[in-house]
Amino acid sequence: MVSDFFYPNHGGVESHLYQLSQRLIEREHKVTQENAVIHDETLPAACCGLRFPCRSAAQGRTGIRHVTNGLKIYYVPHVVVYNQATLPTMYGFFPLFRCIMLRERIDVVHGHQAFSPLCHEAIFHARTMGLKACFTDHSLFGFADASSIVTNKYLKFTLSDVDHVICVSHTRWENTVLRAYLNPQNVSVIPNAVVPSQFTPDPSAADPNFGGDLLRRPVGRTWEIRNHGDEQLTSSIFVVSLQ
């Protein structure tokens, strides 16, 4: 698993990476030896030679960490330039990437998020080394603004030689196919799963003194009505009954 976005930062991609890795471990895949969750890391400004301060929620966290079920994580010393995304280097990541691939005997490289330069570089180098590569897109992008144009060109270049692409919704499937000029048959949709039992309220935590009485709550709503050039303001009050 390769991405700029992983714990201790918070977000949908971070939790997706963690949960997917845990499910692979439950299916008896050797994630520790055959997969590496690679994450961006910031360096002090004096070390990287930049004139602006480097930013990351994981500052100071480098090297190898082990989490639940022995999941092995590599925190790569990269410079964060914007919103957890690392500075694109194209070939600067290759020596360390090759070392990790050979050490862990990786067979499949799975990149996440189009906005992650580390993901693009890993897929590019994986195909150079003859490894299988897969990409998962998590976000929707436009076509007109400067950021989307650059990202879409980068994505088209990276996915021109990838084994398979996964999208987390049908809307993202259509968006990714158009942005990267992909063959629709090479793109699958695997929606993000939600376990309803994890969001069920605890019955024992309910207040026994709540409810039973009729509760009236006025809710004011104002809108503008135009009639023959005259503007009138009208408000309505709704009575909500709760049992």
Say if residue 165 is in the same domain as residue 228.
no
Same domain flag for 108 and 23: yes
40 within domain boundaries: yes
Per-residue pLDDT tens for 11-64?
A: 788 888 888 888 888 887 766 433 334 444 333 333 333 333 333 445 556 778
- Whole-angstrom distance, CA of residue 92 vs CA of residue 105: 21
Mean pLDDT of 65-84: 82
pLDDT band at 221 (very low <50, low <70, confident <90, very high): very low
Residue 1 belongs to a domain: no
Instruction: Give the range among 51-65, 67-81, 82-96, 167-181 with minimum mean pLDDT.
Output: 51-65
The answer as to whether 140 is a domain residue is: yes
pLDDT at 187 over 90: yes
Q: Strand (E) positions, the chain?
A: 37-39, 63-66, 72-75, 80-82, 85-86, 108-112, 132-137, 164-167, 187-189, 218-227, 230-239
Per the structure, the complete domain to which residue 213 belongs is given by 201-239
**Cβ-Cβ contacts under 8 Å for 25 (sequence gap 6 or more):** 31, 32, 69, 70, 71
Q: What is the CATH number of the domain that holds 38?
A: 3.40.50.2000
Does the pLDDT at position 84 exceed 90? Answer: no
